[in-house]
Structure 1
């Protein structure tokens, strides 16, 4: 039986993107919430809570983007021209956020500037990722294996709304992360914010669950046709369970539960997008087999992936294990 290398690589790329979203999402969320915590000590603890892991989280972005270029070059060559503006905005935001991590500790005069660079860069990166996602979900026109749209096709009410929704979702990840990692008044304020971001995220997921199926006929068929309509029942039920766990965890001071439940919501939302997309990698123009590199290239690159992926997973898991538990405000990690 022949091995479907294109499908395997699509699964690897999808996993890398999901890993990036749920891991870098919470530290972007911490940056988004930065202006709500004006005290310097609180901000120091917030940055210390993500300092040991934030740069490692971005490994998955490199793997997803680099893998897309190497394994699905036609998709890469089609998506990039369609999304140049939001992708550049995302990278600028990530640069400001990354530089702020290093420079904020080394200056007093410019500390406020780097505080805002950290918050603004995080918000810009999150919003740009949401806009790019919204534009991709809308569909990218392809003619003769090339992007056939205009410069501003990515800018629509749906993509802007998706950008705002992802900022809200990352704020939920950030606030629940702070509940899990901090103590005292900082933890309690994060808990109060988590209630608000939970309701806002629930509203955003409900809106886009109703909006997305009517963007393209294939989405409508996928969600309401048999047998995939089963997911239209199962996914909302699982989302409801995650929301219940999140709220009860906040109420009962089970500080790790809200963060894990918020991660579950993101995974379920991602699964919903995957159900809508498959088998397209550029909706609704190119399937994963249309866009894949030659079989020999896929096989050669898969050997490297089989070696590197376990190493990345092991390093990521080890770093989170070493820095588990609450952050000590007197010590920190910096």
Structure 2
């Protein structure tokens, strides 16, 4: 469980940070797309779109940073994982394209707005499922021989990967519902409260099922979580999940506007921490460690200088955008 701090470790945490920021920032607008059919009124749909219009297209910045950083800092892992995950990755990109195009076009047409609404929902759901399936396929391990992927085209498709795909989609829907609580008012907000209750219990169930199934994938996962002294570090994670779930339930019962969204983010952070505990120090689970996959140290140091400059800039303008467009979104105003 212990790790020495070196340049490869630093880069592993940078990529993990970029992927996590993408998950939480793009997750809620993908969740809005998943929930879109449950809000049939045009006025409600316009408010939903307007709530994310100023920020949604900047969220993919972190996906680019995570994917580009993986290719540059850990090229062996990129070369192994991409062939193993071509299908879900391509499906994710197609979903993001449909979601993005629909987002722009639905506000510029009346005759075909329903068609673009379907594309928005379908693209969001496809992207969310594909991300979860890719995660599950990576967790269950890929067939590596030497320095190459040696599995088949459909190895990613298993009951476990489908389970993780559904879990991610449910989690994104919870983020979307709690985002609406924070950004809307009136009947739309009240409906978002009701949906949040449903999605929270569904997400807790998904977390429980995935957590139970994961140790059965590899004996190393079970050893990581349940052997001494590792259990000292791993036990607080499920306890923290239970505590955050209780706080989230109370915040929904008390009809608080802001706490449900941030507590939902905390659930994602704890789940992400659990994923890191299971995988560390492998970047391709049970096959390739971060040190085996790392590019030359000089290359990583050179890239680290650029990241040290760019990441604070990205965080600054992202934070400024969210600050400028803070507050409630009302019908009749905004992007569409």
TM-score (norm 2): 0.97
Deviation at 1:120, TM superposition (A): 0.4
- Partner of 2:82 in structure 1? 80
SS in 2 for 1:167: helix
The aligned counterpart of 1:137 is 139
Looking at structure 2, the residues matched to 115 and 89 of structure 1 have their Cα atoms a distance apart, in angstroms, of 19
1:141 CA drift (Å): 1.7
1:330 CA displacement: 2.5
For this pair of structures, how many residues does the alignment match?
333
Aligned 1:216-231 pairs, distance under 5 A: 216-231=218-233
Any idea what SS the aligned residue of 1:281 has?
Answer: strand
Of 88, 99, 105 in structure 2, the residue corresponding to residue 103 of structure 1 is 105
Counterpart check, 1:26 vs 2:33: no
Secondary structure of the 1:238 match is: helix
Give the superposition deviation at 1:232: 3.5
> In 1, Cα distance between the equivalents of 2:229 and 2:118?
49
* Matching of residues 132-171 of structure 1 within 5 Å: 132-171=134-173
Q: Does the 8 Å contact 2:163/2:210 carry over to 1?
A: no
Matching residue of 1:62: 64
Structure 1: which 5+ residue stretches go unaligned? Answer: none
Deviation at 1:142, TM superposition (A): 1.1
For 1:54 and 1:15, the matched residues in 2 are separated by 19
Displacement after TM superposition at 1:227 (Å): 2.2
Matched, 1:191 2:193: yes
Q: Shift in Å at residue 277 of structure 1?
A: 0.4
CA-to-aligned-CA distance 1:161-218 (integer Å, 9 cap, x gap): 1111111110000001001110010000011000000000010001111110111011
Deviation sequence 1:21-79 (CA, Å, 0-9, x none): 01100000000000000000000000111111111111100000011111110000000
TM-score, normalising length: structure 1: 0.98
Indicate the larger mover: 236-245 or 44-53.
236-245
Q: Which of 93, 96, 101 is the equivalent residue of 1:94?
A: 96
Alpha-carbon distance between aligned partners in 2 of 1:264 and 1:207, rounded to the nearest angstrom: 19
After superposition, the C-alpha distances for 1:72-91 in whole angstroms (9 at most, x for unaligned) are 10000000000000000000
Indicate the SS of the match to 1:33. helix
Q: In structure 1, what is the equivalent of residue 124 of structure 2? A: 122
Q: 1:333 and 1:122 mapped to 2: Cα distance?
A: 19
Q: Deviations over 1:241-287 (max 9, x none)?
A: 11112111111111111111100000000000000000000001000
Identify the residue that residue 294 of structure 1 maps to in structure 2: 296
CA distance in 1, matches of 2:309, 2:265: 27
1:3 Cα offset (Å): 6.4
What residue in structure 2 maps to residue 238 of structure 1? Answer: 240
Q: Distance in 1 between matches of 2:183 and 2:104?
A: 21
2:328 aligns with 326
For residue 315 of structure 1, report the CA deviation from its aligned partner: 1.0
What is the rounded CA distance, in whole Å, between the counterparts of 1:105 and 1:204 in structure 2? 35
- Name the CA shift for 1:75/1:311 in 2 (closer, same or farther; >3 Å): same
Cα deviation for residue 333 of structure 1 reads 3.7
Rounded Cα–Cα distance in structure 1 between residues aligned with 2:260 and 2:212: 25
Aligned-residue CA RMSD (Å) = 1.0
Say whether 1:4 aligns with 2:11. Answer: no
**Deviation (angstroms), 1:231:** 3.6
**2 CA distance for matches of 1:202 and 1:90?**
24
Instruction: Specify every segment of 5 or more residues in structure 2 that has no aligned partner in the other structure, as ranges.
Output: none
- Between stretches 69-78 and 231-240, larger displacement belongs to 231-240
Equivalent-residue separation in structure 1 for 2:5 and 2:84 (angstroms):
32
Q: Deviations over 1:138-160 (max 9, x none)?
A: 01121110001111100000001
